[in-house]
DNA sequence: AATGAATGAGGGTTCATTCAT
DNA sequence: AATGAATGAACCCTCATTCAT
């Protein structure tokens, strides 16, 4: 950096920033992919994603070298927002079960169902960036669950893995529908499920409380 | 049927009786398709179904004109067995909630998750045979739900539609996985959901109780 | 094999023989691929091969799981025929140089240029079947070369690798042409090259005589 | 050119003079394209050429409207240098066959193999600039060939077309390889070919001596 | 003038469906 | 009736070319 550079406000940053339009496209693709992943699952045609994002298919490939990379980015962005929501809920809700309650509905809004490809064999959970976000999200959700269990509002025989998978399943759209009129069911189901989570437990659960680690193991 | 047909002793019966081996093949294909649908989701390659059934792919097409017809038959067979289970549970379980409880787990065993394509736009629920099975199954489940609500064991603000959709969602396969280690979750989720269904209700549900009719309407 | 089987002339062989039409298609594809490989090189569009063979592209994939497998089969068939030609020339030609001469022109006819993908990194020369044919062909050509060198008709400072590569290069068609009027050149070039190969050597060659082993090493 | 233009002292010269950096880029692109053509063959990705030249892909298109134009420029530059080499060899070598000998190896160095697209149907040899360079190169090579034939060192039954095509063929890159360890063959092949060209002829050539005109005709 | 970005077309491969044995 | 084989359409991905900064 010379003095001349320092004086020039328009100098390009060293880490090439994306052009405005490219950056916009990138975000539109991630958003479209998030929705499409929730709706179609991990095999969603990438052409469909591109179409929804309003870009050519090759543009998608310019930004994401292949399907895995696109899914990775979607996963990261969904996890980041979900973690944030979880942290906020924990920090802002005075009541422990209210925090859980709020988190569940906000996670649904953030399309936590788009994380389903994380469970497939192809997905690399060892990737450092992914591992980092997983840990952040995990910590935040565990904190919510722990607090609600410590206050005696959440049944003690469940764990974060149970919550995450059920949440994903219940928020998945019906196949082949444009999700029309489906959200209306989802809220009811989540609420019923949350009622089932409340302490005191109304039944004895089979199996053992599933953690996020178990999900990893379950893949094999 | 003409008079000539009537006079012909060798005429084939209306429901053409299949040769023993053909009939066996047909059943093997439906069984394989049910499992494969649960495992791979609705996009399972038909060659995979044929392979699992141990027949050539063209044999599959001799029995089922296309993917839709195969799914229709799977749907019918799952519904028939599910209805039977519901009827049995109602008849045999003295306790109203136990009947519901037993039905839910048996429906999972019968792969009620394979019914999810039924909810898609492409599926023709007006088909007489389908409509018949839907009605039979519906009736049996409504009877279970009604009884449990009348005995005050099941919260009154839910309806059969809520139950069916949640049941389907919670037992649907995780897309893209070989479902490894997944069943282990399903039982826990169902139990938690059932706990949420018990009276007294632990929350006030948003929306209105959804009937099976609502599902039809919701599709559009 | 039961006695009944033995009496039944129409019994299917244990190693499922291809249907007549499938077998015909397979051969047409290999033939078309041979020509196309010579003309376009190893990146020839497989759709082009299918078109030339008069089959759909998927038929090509039924017979050859991927490009590598197709190239492998072409390689095997060209090597087999080339080896046969070499063996025949050696056995039938009383004059040592005549045998070499005859082999060179017959190898051109057999499209030895189609072997060019063998030199690419992707090609697996360790495959047992390939290795076998390479060895057979190599032996036959070495025998021809050796005899001509022993009789003092072929210059001693060249080896089979020199011959093979030059033969491939000189018989490759000009790119983008339908080979129109090109064969006319090829014969002249081969003859000139053969004249250069005759003993006594008219120059001292740079480098060392290249064997087929060197070709393998050269890839890396 | 109008009179107005003529009066305008600031008018750009007919051969628009490029800015120094633009001119440098242009040359770097042609050089990179020459090497890349030899290495990858005529289907080399233009992005690869741009990358090697150290410019953006659009810069390449600013200089060369399309692939054909780039190849044309490469062809022109190779021909120009080849012609120069031929003229120098003729002028500087006292021995007639030595001139031919020197030219052949220098042409290989100048990547005369990159001229192979010139022989394809798509290439426009009627283009004045191309025609001019062809003529210059042709004249120089004919002079070399003629002299060597007149001195009785070069067999009389070959013509410049034979030489040019064989030279191109023998120096063409092996398709699909990174040309690793290939140059080592080329020198030997050229030398063997030259030995075959020496008088007295060791065989009777089939066909008639091919001139460059014949190549044009051969394409059709 | 130089460039990063966008795009449509094309080739590779799979799969639902049809055909021929 | 059963089956292996054939096929075209769909999707993935790359690349030549054009566009916008």
DSSP C65-86: SSHHHHHHHHHHHHHHHHHHHH
Domain co-membership, C124 together with C212? yes
Mean pLDDT to the nearest integer, B177-183: 58
For nucleotide E16, the protein residue with its alpha carbon nearest to C1' is B46
Q: Which DSSP state fits A118?
A: G
pLDDT of residue C20: 76
Domain co-membership, D117 together with D132? yes
pLDDT of residue D187 exceeding 80, the answer is: yes
Q: C193–D191: do the CB atoms touch at under 8 Å?
A: no
For nucleotide F9, the protein residue with its alpha carbon nearest to C1' is C58
**pLDDT band at residue C163 under the 50/70/90 scheme:** very high
pLDDT of residue D38: 79
Mean pLDDT to the nearest integer, A162-179: 78
Neighbours of B65 (CB within 10 A): 10
Give me chain B's average pLDDT, please. 84
**A65 is near strand F: CB distance < 7 Å:** yes
Residue D22: alpha-carbon gap to chain centroid = 24
Nucleotides of F under 7 A from a protein CB: 1-21
Integer angstrom CA distances of residue C106 from C26, C86, C97? 24, 8, 14
Give D19-63 pLDDT, tens digit per residue. Answer: 677 788 899 999 999 988 877 777 889 999 999 999 999 999 999
Separation in Å: E9 C1' and D47 CA: 17
> Which DSSP string corresponds to D69-124?
HHHHHHHHHHHHHHHHHHHHHHHH-SSHHHHHHHHHHHHHHTTGGGGGGGGSTTS-
- The answer for residues whose C-beta is within 8 angstroms of residue D129's C-beta and 6 or more apart is D76
- Residues of B in Cβ contact (< 8 Å) with A162: 185, 188-189, 192
Domain co-membership, D60 together with D81? no
* Nearest residue to C191 (alpha-carbon basis) of D214, D164, D196: D196
Domain co-membership, D17 together with D123? no
Alpha-carbon distance A12 to nearest alpha carbon in chain B (angstroms): 43
Q: How far apart are the first and last CA of chain C?
A: 50
Picking from D43, D122, D182, the nearest residue to C218 by CB comes out as: D182
Domain closes at, from C40, C65, C90: C65
Give C3-58 pLDDT, tens digit per residue. Answer: 444 444 444 443 456 677 888 889 999 999 998 888 888 888 999 999 999 999 99
Integer angstrom CA distances of residue C15 from B56, B58, C118? 18, 22, 30
Give A106-162 pLDDT, tens digit per residue. Answer: 999 999 989 888 877 778 888 999 999 999 999 999 999 999 999 999 999 999 989
Residue with tokens 């037992």: B171
Q: B177–A203: do the CB atoms touch at under 8 Å?
A: no
CB-based contact A85:A110 (threshold 8 Å): yes
Q: A188–B203: do the CB atoms touch at under 8 Å?
A: no
Give B43-92 pLDDT, tens digit per residue. Answer: 889 999 999 999 999 999 999 998 889 999 999 999 999 999 999 999 99
Q: A219–B41: do the CB atoms touch at under 8 Å?
A: no
pLDDT of residue C73 exceeding 80, the answer is: yes
Domain co-membership, D119 together with D179? yes
Nucleotides of E under 7 A from a protein CB: 1-21
**A3 is near strand F: CB distance < 7 Å:** no
* C-alpha span between D131 and D137 (Å, rounded): 10
Query: How many C×D Cβ pairs under 8 Å?
Result: 160
Integer angstrom CA distances of residue B96 from A60, B89, B150, D144? 55, 9, 9, 107
Q: How far apart are the first and last CA of chain A?
A: 51
Domain co-membership, D40 together with D25? yes
Contacts 24+ apart (CB under 8 A), C156-160: C156/C199, C156/C201, C157/C201, C157/C204, C157/C205, C157/C209, C158/C197, C158/C205, C158/C209, C158/D188, C158/D192, C159/C209, C159/C210, C159/C211, C160/C211, C160/C212
Mean pLDDT to the nearest integer, C123-146: 92
Q: Does B65 touch chain A (CB under 8 A)?
A: no
pLDDT of residue C121 exceeding 90, the answer is: no
* Nearest residue to C40 (alpha-carbon basis) of D216, D176, D33: D176
* Nearest residue to D40 (alpha-carbon basis) of D188, D172, D182: D172
Residue D153: alpha-carbon gap to chain centroid = 25
Q: Which residue has the higher pLDDT, D105 or B184?
A: D105
**C21 is near strand F: CB distance < 7 Å:** yes
Tokens coding A56: 């050519």
Mean pLDDT to the nearest integer, D194-207: 94
Q: Does B39 touch chain A (CB under 8 A)?
A: no
* C-alpha span between D61 and D33 (Å, rounded): 13
* Enclosing domain of residue B4: 1-65
Percent of chain C with pLDDT over 90: 57
- The answer for residues whose C-beta is within 8 angstroms of residue B5's C-beta and 6 or more apart is B11
Tokens coding D68: 């054909």
Picking from C116, C182, C193, the nearest residue to D193 by CB comes out as: C193
Domain co-membership, B129 together with B207? yes
Picking from D43, D196, D219, the nearest residue to C194 by CB comes out as: D196
Nearest nt (C1') from D18 Cα = E1
Residue B15: alpha-carbon gap to chain centroid = 24
pLDDT of residue B124: 81
Domain closes at, from A16, A41, A65: A65
Domain co-membership, C157 together with C198? yes
Q: D117–C176: do the CB atoms touch at under 8 Å?
A: yes
Domain closes at, from A65, A92, A115: A65
* C-alpha span between C32 and B105 (Å, rounded): 59
* C-alpha span between C49 and B110 (Å, rounded): 49
- Residues of A in Cβ contact (< 8 Å) with B122: 176
Q: C203–D189: do the CB atoms touch at under 8 Å?
A: no
Q: Which of A8-12, B44-48, C73-77 has the lowest mean pLDDT?
A: A8-12
Mean pLDDT to the nearest integer, D159-180: 79
Taking only residues 143 to 182 of chain C, the set having a beta carbon closer than 8 angstroms to any beta carbon of chain D reads: 158, 161-162, 165-166, 168-170, 172, 174-177, 180-182
Picking from C165, C196, C210, the nearest residue to D196 by CB comes out as: C196
* Nearest residue to C35 (alpha-carbon basis) of C215, C171, C154, C143: C171
Give chain A's radius of gyration (CA, Å). 20
Domain co-membership, B121 together with B95? yes
Give C152-161 pLDDT, tens digit per residue. Answer: 999 999 999 8
* Nearest-Cα residue of chain A relative to residue B182: A218
Picking from A181, A188, A207, the nearest residue to B162 by CB comes out as: A188
pLDDT of residue B11 exceeding 50, the answer is: no
pLDDT of residue C2 exceeding 90, the answer is: no
B vs A contact (3+ beta-carbon pairs below 8 A): yes
Give B99-135 pLDDT, tens digit per residue. Answer: 999 999 999 999 888 887 777 767 787 889 999 999 9
Q: B206–A196: do the CB atoms touch at under 8 Å?
A: no
- The answer for residues whose C-beta is within 8 angstroms of residue C126's C-beta and 6 or more apart is none
* C-alpha span between A179 and A182 (Å, rounded): 5
Q: C180–D206: do the CB atoms touch at under 8 Å?
A: no
Residue with tokens 């944030």: A84
Q: What is the CATH number of the domain that holds B19?
A: 1.10.357.10
pLDDT of residue D68 exceeding 60, the answer is: yes
pLDDT of residue C12: 45
Alpha-carbon distance B45 to nearest alpha carbon in chain A (angstroms): 13
pLDDT of residue B139 exceeding 80, the answer is: yes
Give A32-42 pLDDT, tens digit per residue. Answer: 999 998 888 88
Residue A186: alpha-carbon gap to chain centroid = 17
Q: A119–B206: do the CB atoms touch at under 8 Å?
A: no
| Number of domains, chain C | 2
* Most confidently modeled range among A177-191, B77-91, C197-211, D158-172: B77-91
pLDDT of residue B167: 92
Domain co-membership, A15 together with A124? no
Picking from B41, B122, B194, the nearest residue to A41 by CB comes out as: B41
Contacts 24+ apart (CB under 8 A), A67-73: A68/A122, A68/A123, A68/A124, A70/A29, A70/A30, A70/A33, A70/A46, A71/A33, A71/A37, A71/A42, A71/A117, A71/A123, A72/A123, A72/A124, A72/A127, A72/A129, A72/A130, A73/A30, A73/A33
pLDDT of residue B149: 97
Alpha-carbon distance B91 to nearest alpha carbon in chain A (angstroms): 24
pLDDT of residue B177: 57
Domain co-membership, C94 together with C151? yes
Q: D174–C206: do the CB atoms touch at under 8 Å?
A: no
- The answer for residues whose C-beta is within 8 angstroms of residue D112's C-beta and 6 or more apart is D78, D82, D167, D168, D171
Domain co-membership, A105 together with A212? yes
Q: Does A48 touch chain B (CB under 8 A)?
A: no
């Amino acid at each position: 950096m010379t003095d001349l550079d320092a004086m020039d406000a328009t100098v390009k940053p060293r880490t090439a920033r994306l052009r405005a339009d490219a950056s916009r496209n990138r975000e539109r693709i991630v958003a479209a992919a998030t929705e499409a992943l929730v709706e179609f699952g991990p095999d969603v045609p990438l052409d469909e994603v591109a179409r929804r994002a309003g870009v050519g298919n090759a543009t998608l490939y310019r930004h994401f070298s292949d399907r895995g990379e696109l899914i990775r980015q979607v996963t990261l962005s969904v996890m980041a927002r979900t973690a944030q929501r979880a942290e906020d809920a924990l920090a802002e809700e005075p009541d422990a079960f209210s925090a859980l309650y709020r988190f569940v509905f906000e996670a649904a809004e953030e399309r936590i169902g788009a994380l389903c490809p994380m469970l497939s064999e192809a997905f690399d959970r060892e990737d450092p960036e992914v591992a980092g976000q997983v840990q952040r999200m995990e910590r935040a959700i565990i904190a919510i669950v722990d607090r609600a269990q410590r206050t005696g509002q959440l049944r003690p025989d469940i764990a974060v893995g149970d919550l995450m998978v059920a949440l994903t399943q219940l928020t998945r759209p019906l196949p082949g529908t444009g999700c029309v009129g489906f959200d209306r069911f989802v809220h009811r189901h989540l609420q019923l499920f949350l009622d089932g989570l409340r302490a005191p437990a109304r039944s004895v659960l089979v199996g053992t409380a599933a953690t996020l680690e178990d999900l990893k193991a379950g893949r094999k």
